[in-house]
Structure 1
Amino acid sequence: MTFKIKEITTRKEMKRFSRFPLKLYKNHPQYVPTLVSDEIKSIMDSPSMKYCSRKIWIACDDKNRIAGRIVGIINPRANEIYGYKRVRFGWFDVIEDFEVAQALIRTVAEWGASLGMTEIHGPLGFNTWNKQGLVIEGFENLPQFNCLYNYPYYPVFLERLGFSKEVDWIQYIMTATQPVPDKIERINEAILKRYNLHVLKWKKPGDFKPYLDDFFDMYNKSFMTVQNFIPLTKEEINESTRFYMKLINPDLSFFIIDGNNKVVAFSISFPSLSRALQKARGYLFPFGWFHILKALIFYKDIDLMMNGAHPDWKGKGLSSIYHYHTNKTAIRKKLRWAVTNPQLETNHAIDVWKEYNTRLHTRRRCYIRNINF
């Protein structure tokens, strides 16, 4: 196939870029589309652009039809923190044509090499709040709304290009109404009493606002041991708050507070939005907003989005407390399924799921290779 690589620089061109996956995965039962407007904003107006560099490309055939897309990112904060010189690739989608995939990846690699980078890895975004990791197992499962989906030929193409595994993320699925042993409740009460802790009672996002700065400070500290994690800047925190605070649900999110009124641990879950976003087909209007709003109010499945504890409080059993409360909510609401957010397979926090009756939902992989093809 004859094609050419074209750099994208305008918002008008970005609409074509963001609509491409809607055509590539049209009517695919597992693909969950991102809202086109959200994706354009996340790439063009990301607060991470205050310190990152990025380039956007598409591959077009001789009839000017898009055959693939990719974003190249250089995150100097990540390179400094971890002591490497890497260019990232993300928002990578391609038809089943190896030469197109090769050209897109090489375009990113050549750009990175021109700026002194020595390795290329991905798929990654600007930071860990963007979608990351190719699906390599679990193609038959519906992904969470904040996760990537891809055809099975994607990892085949990358491995053919000489990429190898950097890290894997694991997701599990479980019935949401698994019984909670009585002893767990007694243990949790003892932990709360021993350390003078309590679970925050709140009913609306405004009730949690006084804790936001403290929460994100703790979040940045608690995830520093996670590979490729980059602490969020103030601007990134503001953007994350703007997007996620409208989704947060007091029945599904729990914050453990110490005697100094500081957040020391947390667990945040969302109603599953995947089916709603499929019905929205990439757009809020005319009816996408209705499907999303309905999913936020009437839900049977949940996504266990994130959890963590301040480094000073790790190993003290606090995870048992927020898992217990999430479990009790699921039982009370008679929910069906809970899917865990991607966690690095090397993260010991993933061991908590061994206490539950789970099965593998999805395995995702970040690939890496030297930059010289």
Structure 2
Amino acid sequence: MALRRDLPFGPPAAGVPLRLAFVGQQTYFRACALDEDSARVRTTFVDYRAGRDPGLMRAKLDAFAPHAVVVFRPETVPAGLLADLPAAIVGFLTEPISRQAGPGRAQAVHWDLEGRRRDMAGLDPANVDRIVSFDPMIVPTADEFMEVWRSLPIPVADRLYRPVRRVHGTPRMLFVGRSTVHRERYLIDVKHRFDCLHVAFGIQVEELETLLDRHQITFNIHNEPYPSFENRVFLHLAAGHLVISEPLSPTHGLEPGFDYVEVSHPEDLVAVATEARAFPDAFHRVRVRGRQKAEQVRASRAWPALVRDLFADLAAFGTGRQVPDRRRTLSGAAGA
């Protein structure tokens, strides 16, 4: 594909705020986006998911006139919908897919991963300038659909960060995520023994804030029995929670036993939850370390830095999107 280098868009002029739009299902991704209206950045969030009106999504983007757009799950956007949008567009891959085998590593193949891999066939490179993946280990597979530019964990909205406070009384337990057989296998005993709240459906970020304030211990169980890294890990670490998780892959720099507690079997989960409930102070340092590590994904730092690098990369290497230059079109129309 020929790359276009004379781009009809670019970063804002000096002194002009960056207009940054986020597109995705808000019950999942508002918690990952930047929400700011300042002299530095002005943002908007456009709620969109597969099956919703794509024309309405595009109309909202046109009305906002962004300099840059982040599209969560770009494979759900209809082909060509964003091809002529005069803004820098980065698609963020947020779903695990099958990983290719590497030296000394067996290929991770699972029916759920293969289904998500097939969904990737809906990715139209004409809709985005660059692709970012939440997981570096899926990059060889994702490259079959469009070359991945970068890999980094999904950021966490600033509004969800909390200081780590000492627990007074009995800590409360929380799991946010849809119910699957694998997850219920891990959680069933904890639910029966303790007051553990399971939020099984997507919720608005305002409701999530309330839940984060009321709980101190959270669990991270994979969707199915395959390795991954869920964005809820950093989200709960940012809130100052003790995170008890299945092994993470990749770890994104988190260290088990220091930043979170790792468990490999349902019996281990019950044992750690029992101890953490009875002796919450014993895990205070883990919560503090995890909260410190969560700073690396703070939205107000991560998103502007990514967009800055995106503009620099586009200026140096161009884009495969054939975006029409509306300035020239308007000029030609005026002359006619």
Per the TM superposition, whether the score is higher than 0.5 is no
More strand as a share of residues = 1
